[in-house]
Structure 1
Amino acid sequence: MMNKDIGKKVKELRLQKKMTLKDLSELTSLSTGFLSQLERGLTNIATDSLQKISEALGVDLSYFFVSVTKNRSHVLRSYEKEVFQVVNSKFIHYHLTNHSEDKTLLPRMIELLPINCHEDLSQYAHEGEEFVYVLEGTLTLFINHEQVELFPGDSAHYNSSIVHNWANYTNKMVRILVVSTPNSL
């Protein structure tokens, strides 16, 4: 369902900008055949490819996602998971619960798009604690002014009052599971 919605939005934007599939293909390095299938909801798209499309069409990545979860059950099926927030077009947050507002823990899956290793990355501290588990890719964790590489299966658990941040300095998507307190949403 979400792929049809994304494809529809891509097509609407492309037509508004009077672009052909070939124009979009040249700007994104994605084939016209793939883009055509995407617009018709016949294929899935990786987040980094959708980022290329969003840049070519002049919109933020979050434009393509819906952030309202309607299910009030205690169980969240994988196909029901929706994007909650896109931060700086680099961090895509998915809530892994249906009703986080009345919970202490905030479980999320976060996808980190690649960034330039020369970008200034500030560390910050806040109340609570965080648990991070790397599902896919190589995560660079900055913690207490140190830099540590975490690989799939690696985890970190720390008090959030210690200065910290994460980055993806690779050329592939990094996917992490994060459970934090307090739930400040």
Structure 2
Amino acid sequence: MNEQIQLIAARIKELREIAGISAESFANELNIEKDLLLNYENGNTDISVGFLLKVAHRFNLELSALLKGDQPKLHVYSVARKGKGLIVDRRKQYKYESLASNFIQKKAEPFIVTVEPDASNAPLESNSHAGQEFNYVLEGTLMIVVDGHEITLNEGDSIYFDSGYKHAMKALNNQKARFLAVIV
């Protein structure tokens, strides 16, 4: 796994241990298997944004504190220049660019997400997390599956959904897809 995932994994484990929570209790609280939690904490498995949001919420942290290791400090405004947001490169086909990582006490988490095409036809990895999500396609064609419903979105299309339901995305037509994701 890459160095960034190792650092994030170590932060999650450290937070749990400082709080005196057993791996089993923490896994139950986050509604995941203990083995998956341990794989996350050891950096052996790609860590979903949904899981990171659950951990951040549990410990009353900003998501960027888990990603960067320090708390955001801006409270009036935060600017992300094109291509200069905090890059979260955790999963093979997905690259997340956080657009407000330095803003404190955000009400929403905005990202530019790039999904690379996957010719393997492997099953989609579903994710779920508390809240709601808005996705607006900037480039390419994206298939999104929400609670078993497949929806195809083209450039300029958008979707808003309850992110507590299992959801997954896939770039179509053998081309990457980019979209604005806002997690509330």
Q: Is the 1:143–1:164 contact (alpha carbons within 8 Å) kept by the matching residues of 2?
A: yes
2:180 is matched with 177
Pick the aligned partner of 2:138 from 113, 131, 135: 135
| Separation in structure 2 between the aligned mates of residue 117 and residue 147 of structure 1, nearest angstrom | 19
- Separation of aligned partners in 2, 1:131 and 1:99: 21
Scaled by the length of structure 1, the TM-score of the pair is 0.54
* Equivalent position to 1:74, from 77, 83, 88: 77
| Kept in 2: contact 1:130–1:180 (CA 8 A) | yes
Match status 1:110 vs 2:87: no
Query: CA 1:132/1:161 → structure 2, altered by over 3 Å: closer, same or farther?
Result: same
Tell me the amino acid that sits aligned with residue 167 of structure 2.
H
List structure 1 runs of 4+ shifted beyond 4 angstroms. 67-73
Map 1:20-39; keep pairs closer than 5 Å. Answer: none
What does residue 154 of structure 2 align with?
151
Q: Following TM superposition, by how much is the alpha carbon of 1:75 offset from its aligned partner in structure 2, in angstroms?
A: 3.7
Query: Cα distance 1:89–1:78, how it changes in 2: closer, same or farther (>3 A)?
Result: same
The answer as to whether partners of 2:78 and 2:103 remain within 8 angstroms in 1 is: no
Normalising by structure 2, we get a TM-score of: 0.55
1:86 counterpart residue number: 89
Considering only aligned residues, what root-mean-square deviation do their CA atoms show, in Å? 2.6
Q: Residues of 1 paired with 2:91 and 2:162: CA distance?
A: 25
The structure that has the greater radius of gyration is: 1
Residues 86 and 101, structure 2, Cα contact 8 Å, conserved in 1: no
CA distance in structure 1 between the aligned counterparts of 2:125 and 2:82, rounded to whole angstroms: 34
Count of equivalent residues: 115
CA contact (8 A) 2:119 2:174 kept: no
CA distance in 2 between partners of 1:169 and 1:117 (Å): 12
Aligned counterpart for 2:166 among listed residues 163, 166, 178: 163
- 1:163: how far off? 1.7
**Deviates most, 90-99 or 148-157:** 90-99
For 1:141 and 1:95, locate their aligned partners in 2 and report how far apart those are by CA, in whole Å. 20
Mean CA deviation greater in 110-119 or 125-134: 110-119
